[in-house]
Amino acid sequence: MNRPVSKAQTKNDLGETVLFKGAALKLDCGTALEDIEIAFRTYGQLNAEKTNAILICHALTMDQHAASENPLSGKPGWWIDLIGAGKIIDTDKYFVICSNVIGGCAGSTGPQSLKPDGSGPYGTDFPVLTIGDMVRAQTLLIDHFGIDSLFCVLGGSMGGMQALEWAATHPERVFSAVPIAASTRHSSQNIAFHEVGRQAIIADPHFLGGRYYETDERPRKGLGVARMAAHITYLSETTLQQKFGRNLQDREAVSYGFDADFQIESYLRHQGMTFVERFDANSYLYITRAMDYFDLAADHGGNLAAAFEGTKTRFCVMSFTSDWLFPTSESVQTVRALNAAGANVSFVEIESDKGHDAFLLDEPEMHATLDGFLKSAAQARGLTASGSAKEAKDD
């Protein structure tokens, strides 16, 4: 017999949270996660028909602060250029939701959370998660708002994985989906990079088997190295050469030592040091593992097209020419599977030298593509310029 679920929505320094007390979220690993808390931000207003909601899914190291200042870092939202009044994701028209994934460290239930029995933080007793589990948790939040069907699910990198998972597992609830710089499965190369990062964290003497919450220390060095290794994969060779080349850092000659002689070394060390102040090492382990396990074809007997069979969702798939972490070839595989499933899909490969992180940067072609797609989908959905609903017209 299911336990009654109570919901308590509160505001705090991280935005808003909903605690689903009594909820038992069944996970792919075979266990259940109890008393789910989801931290989120919203922008704009939900229309009376509840048909104008856009779910923004964040990437690995991002959070719910997509269009608002991050209270921990003081930095502006990571998609502030896209989300807002009069912008491409227009908050005068759409109700925008962005939640921190479960397993994260920005307010949603994760390794830092206290166990329901009150015995302390989960640490590495937290169950291993999948992208599917993250989406199941997000459905709790969407149900909380009383939304039957999302106008769009949108995200880049791991956010794109979530968008694809939403479209595959809840096609009746996703009118349109925009996976950017993403794939339907994590490659062996990407798994390898993640494993290097995880082992750097685990090897840190302050990791303590993931139970470092009980001490005043954190595995900062290990997490910093993990961030440095991952950050290289987010950039392109062209970007690295243009920004840094072999330029020396604050010196006229090499030191013949192991200080940061080169600008690129100093840059990576800075990335590592700032990252450890805003991210949790255990969350890094869990979220990277969830990405590694993502494989939509495997979930459908090895047939990727079967994951989208009969879908009515409209898709816009985008990739970048210099992205070697999620190369265009993987987006093409996604598009071919969608075509085989008879889906409504458009695809754009964007010329860019900015690498994987291009989806977070000022890329006019990406912005124009997204703008055109959302306007077309909104017309088909029957949304007015103010976000209210009207009778949809046939294409």
192: CB partners within 8 A, 6+ apart: none
Q: Which of 67-76, 181-190, 251-260 has the highest mean pLDDT?
A: 181-190
323 is an active site residue: yes
Pick the catalytic residue: 99, 113, 157, 176? 157
Q: Beta strands 6-12 and 15-26: pairing type?
A: antiparallel
Tell me the mean pLDDT in the region 191-197.
Answer: 98
Q: What does the pLDDT read at residue 392? A: 46
Pick the CATH number of 6-186+295-381 from 3.40.50.1820, 3.40.50.12280, 3.10.20.30, 1.10.3720.10: 3.40.50.1820
Domain 191-288: CATH class, spelled out: mainly alpha
Span 187-200, average pLDDT? 97
pLDDT at res. 4:
52
* Amino acid sitting at position 250: D
Alpha-carbon distance 281 to 164, whole Å?
27
CA separation for the pair 235, 35 (Å, rounded): 38
Q: Can you tell me the distance from the alpha carbon of 381 to that of 395, in angstroms, rounded to the nearest whole number?
A: 10
Listed in order, the ranges of the chain carrying CATH 3.40.50.1820 are 6-186+295-381
97-101, 115-119, 238-242, 387-391, range with greatest mean pLDDT? 97-101
pTM here is 0.94
- The whole-number average pLDDT for the span 244-264 is 90
Q: Tell me the C-alpha to C-alpha distance, in Å, between residue 221 and each of 105, 200, 217, 225.
A: 18, 8, 11, 6
Asked if 356 is an active-site residue, the reply is yes
More confident residue, 33 or 386: 33
* Mean of pLDDT over the chain: 93
pLDDT number for residue 14: 65
Could you say which of 323, 331, 352, 357 is catalytic? Answer: 323
* Residue 6, pLDDT score: 59
Give the pLDDT score at 395: 44
pLDDT digits 0-9 by tens, 91-144: 999 999 999 999 999 999 999 999 988 889 999 999 999 999 999 999 999 999
- Render pLDDT for 275-284 as a digit per residue (tens, 0 to 9): 999 999 999 9
pLDDT at residue 23 in the model: 81
Residue from 82, 95, 231, 104 nearest 162 by CA: 104
List the catalytic residue out of 58, 170, 194, 356: 356
Of residues 117, 112, 127, the one with CA closest to residue 25: 127
List, by residue range, all CATH 1.10.1740.110 domains of the chain: 191-288
Residue 329 is among the residues annotated as catalytic for this protein:
no
